[in-house]
Structure 1
Amino acid sequence: MESTMYSLNSLRSMEIIDINTGCKLGYIKDLVVDCNNYKVISVLVPNQSTGWFSKNNDIEIPWAKITKIGVDVILIDGTDILYNND
């Protein structure tokens, strides 16, 4: 991936889309950072599934699964990521 700098505010305003299914996963809620190596490990996205018995766990997307960061979207390869794609 290109080494372009993005601010946290600009990343949080970009919608995350799975390139395999075309599903819109939502927007970044938080980042998981390795403070020792100064690297982003993964991004957290709120789980969209809501229902009587659904858990409200966040979807954790490893940084390595991000394929492209565009102007207003972040494309990911969601092959091994568990999320509800209703």
Structure 2
Amino acid sequence: MFKASELRQKEIINMSDGKRLGFVSDVEINMETGAIEAIIIPSESKLFRVIAKDNDIVIPWENIKKIGVDVILIDRNSQ
């Protein structure tokens, strides 16, 4: 078990191409169940966090394949 805040310390890597996508900036939580439904990564085009969140990358929880000590492996081809 882990805390949602611990996800922010992990780098996201896409397994299909090995691309480093960044770090988790936020999570989507189902308020009824308390379960995490997705992780959110700031878009690559953002230079400052002042810009709107419209272009953030949302990774559904089912696309997460492995959560390690330092990284989270995802499969973006599953989207």
Asked if Structure 1 and Structure 2 have the same fold, meaning a TM-score greater than 0.5 normalized by the shorter chain, the answer is yes
Whole-Å separation in 2 of the counterparts to 1:80 and 1:66:
10
Note the aligned Cα RMSD (angstroms): 2.0
Q: Which has the higher helix share?
A: 2
TM-score relative to the length of structure 1: 0.77
* Paired positions, count: 74
Among all aligned residue pairs of Structure 1 and Structure 2, give the percentage whose two residues are the same amino acid.
Answer: 39
> Any stretches of 5+ residues in structure 2 without a counterpart?
none
Unaligned runs of 5+ in 1: 82-86
Which residue number corresponds to residue 45 of structure 2? 49
Structure number with greater Rg is 1
Normalising by structure 2, what TM-score?
A: 0.83
Return structure 1 stretches of 4+ with deviation > 4 angstroms. Answer: none
